[in-house]
Structure 1
Amino acid sequence: MPSPCPERPRAVTKVPQTPLAIVHYRPSDPEGRPSRKRPALEEITPQDIASPIFHQVLLEDLNGDVQGAMINFGKRARTRTPLSQEKRRQTAQARKGGVCARCKKSKRQCDITQKKSPYESCTLCAHTKLYKSVGRNPCFKSTLVDILFFRSGPASNEPLFTQRDAVFHLEDLAMPDVSVKTLELTQHIGCHHLIVHASKFAPSPEDVVSYKWQDPYGRPHELRMPDYCLTNLDTVYNYFVQYIELAKWSYFESLRAETDLGWLTVSMAIQHAKERPNSLVADALNLWAISRMIEIPWEICGTERLGVSPINDAHSPHHGKMLVPPIMDTQLDQIVIKKILSPLRARILQKFERLITPAKPEAWFEIYLSAFIFLNHIERLAKHSTCHAKKHTMPRKYSNVHFLERAFHTAKSILARFHFVCNGSAPLRVDWRSPETVAMARLESDQVEFMKTTQTMIAARELEVIILRGTHKYEQPLYWTGQLFLENFDTSPVHVVEEPDDISVKMEA
């Protein structure tokens, strides 16, 4: 069979290149009829907002035939009028103080920082219509910058309040060239003792140097204390850090007798913190324990007693105790608040915001444990306020209502984030026997059993939690922590009710 002849190569003719001219798109046709197409340089920006636009340029040859087009997609450069001085001030205030979560998400102006009360809703949220059976995210700042976990010092109406600024600036008040005594102090938590150094100081008229109380007949009593203050404050601080590491776990034993759910949750949190010492749960537990250390009075327990004897008056709230001088008690609180609790609060806010924004399923368990500890801590703050007012015979139920207002605002902010930001109550209602649920949450076997037990306990006490919220007994266990399990938690503005019979103290407008 003859082989096929190879094909001859075809001749390639060169077409002379015609230079192309750049001609802008014409919005009308040659017949003069107006075109419905937009001009090339016109921006397609509906409702005058920033959006993608295109810029089209047609390429034509010398004969006017279109050979191609160049299209640029981009964003319109927004122009705005200069801000007035008042507008600049409001903008700077919003950046510094924060805006509410709803306004931040909607990218609208928020005036929550301009309200007289820090617990008042912004104007836009206050005028938003509510619908039946629709959950409403309460108006709270999008960041946790304004939350409060502990007091800054004694209030002006408290018996141990001092006006000496040097105490709050952690200055050494000891007289020069005086002897230094070493004391052992206790709060009767386990067998742990705190070592401190004390020296004599010169009290001023604004200093509190005695303890006062009244007997059942209204007669006043006063116990003058020796003029001693803390000295070598840096050394005392180091002793306190050692005390915290050794004693902090013992402070949680007081929760064992409160509620089975509280002790179960804190026990799981302690286990979680020991396995993950840098977690948010570990910091939350430290905050809880250290805050109790500035609530419980310190007593002298060593051989050196500064000449102090136990109080023998059976009507005294300090009967049988050897209290430290009032100025020393305030100094101890300030060392803890300034050097330990304030840095700890900053770390907690940073970790909480990082975990919850955006919320991830694998972070839910840590968020839940931390939120429970924070809310239980706020219940303890209310309990201490009632005990403190009763101990010093104050004419109201709580020793510092303004402080509790801020603490309850913190509780509602945490609840709002738990329910609305990460849908926290949903995992508390799911079936933890389902392998898909366990895989989604990435929980270990003991954590799954913990969730099952928690569901059983809260189901048995759900009615109790609902009734408790209606009695305004903020100091009772599960008042705030129980609202973690309720979808319709209390979203109303902060309103401290001091007695069940509607005798209330409203915040300033």
Structure 2
Amino acid sequence: MIPSQHLMTQNLAPVGYGSDANLVSSAALPPHGLVTAEDISPYCMAPTGQLGGDAMQGGWPEVHLLDQQPNFEIILPNQRGGKRGPFKDPSLREQTAQTRKIGSCIRCRMQRIRCENNPDEEGGPCLTCKKVSNSRAGRFPCLRYKITDIRLFKPGQVPGYEWTRRWNNNISDPIQNWASDELKTIYISDGLSNKCVKIEVRQFIPQTGDKLERTWDYRGTKRSVSIPPYALVNLEVVKEAYQDHIRDSMKDAFGRLLGPRNGLLFKTYERAWHIYQDQSTSPECHELLHQTLMLWMSVRLTTRSSFIVGNETLGMRRDILDATSPNHGMIPLPPVLGAQLDLILIHHIQTRLRRELLDKLQKMMSKNKQSTWLVTYLVVFILLHNTALITAHDAGYAKKHGMKRRFAREEKVKEYHLGANILLAHFHYCNKGIYPFSEDCKDQDLRTLAGLDEEKIKFVHTTTSYARRNRPEWEEIRQAGAYEHDYFFVSQLFEANWQPRTTI
């Protein structure tokens, strides 16, 4: 870890931004109720009924939890036996090879049974799922989804709007041609806390492909301003500084980004934070929550504009961005320096966190243990909300630069939304037998099946009330295709008979 002096707390004027993501005000939480399903799986919990129920205790507990799901009567696998040898039957070998090529569906993979490809309907439901199509188990769609395919952050700059072409291969080669030997210390703020990152920069000699101005669109006219060419001196030191900053500013960011403190978003993240901090949390749950929260916070830093604060402004005036700019009054980062920070955050921090997080999440959901139900729910909730936030960022970027399309990276946005469907599909599959967010679910079920204490049970009840109260509004959001809305994806956790949605 980098010494603490790299992270400075200063009482600086609040940093304002011109294009904030949509935050949803939460309505007052009414009473609630929960629902039990006909079957209670000894392996996991899940929903079967509709949300509803009579009024119940009102406020959120100090720390909370939530979760819910539809009803799918699916038999969980017994423990795997010994390793088998190669199939002697040529048709079975061919079938296995085909399954490896196209992937097995969620039901077959989770139950560890043969996923038989249907040669008469390539890409359609497998023959194994066809056999149960008329049963309750058949309500769950046959989906060849893999958790490790999920995309959780932007890959880099929008094509045609790159800040530099120096590192197109994502290899952070150091800058060689400097214009000055003088090192300058600046402080960078993302506006999500009163903490900032201290870094050293140096003026460099620009080369072809380096962007030397900041641009924006104002009423259909392109505006720009020249920015002095400064860049990072030591990327490894800055990487360590940002890792510390991500951890230390995360809790503050909740208050800036998650709406009212009594709302579903804030309370759910707060619950995740408290479980993460709890000494009694198991190592596997602690590590998964740690990586989820770290990734979530690091993605916020690459989907918001950061600015220079403090006395050193690299020669830029306070009014360098005029009144037509959405960031008027702020000191922008030099573009090449911004590209270096993206390189650090995306390719050195987020890529590793994503790989480790999704691998752990896949293993946890495959085991489908009762004791991890709450943590699994919280992680899925946060990742679904992240999908809405990165979608909103993409829409905001397209608007800022006057693009004639809804999203700056339309193909990438499709990948983000596929990732949301993958998360929802796995979550809805695993949650069967009992529906924690329905009125028939008893407190005793929550205690024995999920190991919840009274505080967490109260959180489930309050979440149920919130979901029931907001169900009509959430349905309107989904029908309108408001993918940027905080609740477009999260609300689908509460659909009793969920089906994947096609977005753009």
- After TM superposition, the score normalised by the length of structure 1 is 0.72
Superposed CA offset, 1:295-339 (max 9, x none): 111111122211122334211222111101111111101101122
Deviation string, structure 1 residues 2-46 (Cα, Å, up to 9, x no partner): xxxxxxxxxxxxxxxxxxxxxxxxxxxxxxxxxxxxxxxxxxxxx
Which of 222, 235, 239 is residue 237 of structure 1 equivalent to?
Answer: 239
Deviations 1:56-108 (A, max 9, x none): xxxxxxxxxxxxxxxxxxx9995355999xx79x94x9648844335645524
1:237-278 per-position Cα deviation (integer Å, ceiling 9, x unaligned): 121122122211111112034981112211211111111482
Distance 2:297 2:429 in 1: 28
Deviation at 1:179, TM superposition (A): 2.4
SS of the aligned residue for 2:214 comes to strand
Q: Following the alignment from structure 1 to structure 2, what is the Cα–Cα distance between the partners of residues 169 and 77?
A: 42
Q: How do residues 347-366 of structure 1 correspond to structure 2 at under 5 angstroms?
A: 347-366=356-375
SS at match of 1:137: coil
How far the C-alpha of 1:356 sits from its partner, in A, is 1.0
Q: Quick one: distance in 1 between partners of 2:304 and 2:434?
A: 34
- Aligned to 2:198, what secondary structure does the other structure show? strand
Which of 88, 104, 114 is the equivalent residue of 1:107? 114
Q: 1 CA distance for matches of 2:189 and 2:400?
A: 20
d(CA) in 1 for partners of 2:367 and 2:321? 58
Partners of 2:341 and 2:403 lie apart in 1 by 24
Contact preservation (8 Å) 1:356, 1:422: no
Amino acid at match of 2:201: A
Name the counterpart of 1:273.
276
CA contact (8 A) 1:212 1:221 kept: yes
Name the structure 2 match of 1:252.
Answer: 254
Contact 1:389 1:398 in 2 (8 A): yes
- Identify if the C-alpha distance between structure 1 residues 249 and 179 changes in structure 2 by more than 3 Å, giving closer, same or farther: same
Q: 1:434 corresponds to which residue?
A: 443
Indicate the larger mover: 314-323 or 97-106. 97-106
The structure-2 alpha-carbon separation of the partners of 1:175 and 1:181, relative to structure 1 and needing over 3 Å to count, comes to farther
Tell whether 2:301 aligns with 1:300: no
| Counterpart mapping for 1:465-504 below 5 A | 465-492=474-501, 494-496=502-504
- Gap runs ≥5 in structure 2: 1-83
| TM-score normalised by length of structure 2 | 0.73
1:267–1:80 distance in 2 versus 1, CA, 3 Å:
same
- Give the aligned partner of residue 217 of structure 2: 214
What is the CA–CA distance in structure 2 between the aligned matches of 1:375 and 1:385, rounded to whole Å?
16
Greater Cα shift, 123-132 or 335-344: 123-132
CA distance change for structure 1 residues 80 and 363 in 2, over 3 Å: closer, same or farther?
same
Aligned residue in 2 for 1:319: 328
Deviates more, 1:451-460 or 1:181-190: 181-190
* Counterpart position of 1:407: 416
Cα displacement (A) at 1:452: 0.9
CA contact (8 A) 1:187 1:296 kept: yes
In the other structure, the counterpart of 2:29 is: none
* Distance in 2 of aligned mates of 1:335 and 1:326: 14
Change (3 A) 1:473 1:258: farther
Are residues 1:420 and 2:429 paired?
Answer: yes
Please point out which of 180, 183, 190 is paired with 1:180. 183
CA separation in 2, counterparts of 1:424 and 1:230?
54
Matches within 5 A, 1:45-444: 79-80=88-89, 91=97, 95=100, 98-102=103-107, 104=109, 105-108=112-115, 122-125=123-126, 135-141=139-145, 143-157=146-160, 159-165=161-167, 168-175=170-177, 178-216=181-219, 218-253=220-255, 254-257=257-260, 260-275=263-278, 276=281, 278-310=286-318, 311-423=320-432, 426-429=435-438, 431=440, 433-444=442-453
Residue in 2 that maps onto 1:50: none
1:337 is paired with a residue of what secondary structure? Answer: helix
Cα 1:101–1:432 change in 2 (3 A) is closer
- Shift in CA distance, 477/211, structure 1 to aligned 2, threshold 3 Å: same
- Which amino acid in 2 is paired with 1:224? S
1:424 Cα offset (Å): 8.7
Change (3 A) 1:109 1:182: farther
Letter in 2 for 1:135: R
How many residues are treated as equivalent by the alignment? 407
Residue type matched to 1:139 in 2? L
Shift in CA distance, 214/485, structure 1 to aligned 2, threshold 3 Å: closer
Q: Which moved more, 1:447-456 or 1:120-129?
A: 120-129
| SS of match in other structure, 2:314 | coil
Separation (CA, whole Å) in 2 of partners of 1:259 and 1:362: 27
Match of 2:463 in 1: 454
Identical aligned residues as a percent: 25
How far, CA to CA, are the matches of 1:108 and 1:246 in structure 2? Answer: 46
Q: Deviations over 1:98-125 (max 9, x none)?
A: 443356455245599xxxxxxx982444
Letter in 2 for 1:385: D
5+ unaligned residues in a row in structure 1: which ranges?
1-74, 113-119, 497-509
- CA distance in 2 between counterparts of 1:447 and 1:121 reads 45
- CA spacing shift, 1:96–1:205, aligned 2, 3 Å: farther
Distance in 2, matches of 1:99 and 1:160, equals 38
Aligned equivalents of 2:456 and 2:414: distance in 1?
34
CA distance in 2, matches of 1:267, 1:301: 29
Query: Whose relative contact order is higher, 1 or 2, with alpha carbons under 8 Å and at least 6 apart?
Result: 2
Deviations 1:181-209 (A, max 9, x none): 22111112221111112122232222222
1:162 offset after TM fit, Å? 3.3
**Larger radius of gyration, structure 1 or 2?**
1
8 Å Cα contact 2:154-2:390 kept in structure 1: no
The SS at the match of 1:207 is: coil
Runs of 4+ in 1 over 6 A off after TM superposition: none
Does the CA-based 8 Å contact 2:104-2:115 persist in structure 1? no
The alpha carbon displacement at 1:370 in A equals 1.0
Instruction: Measure how far apart 1:164 and its partner are.
Output: 2.2
Residue 220 of structure 1 aligns to a residue whose secondary structure is: strand
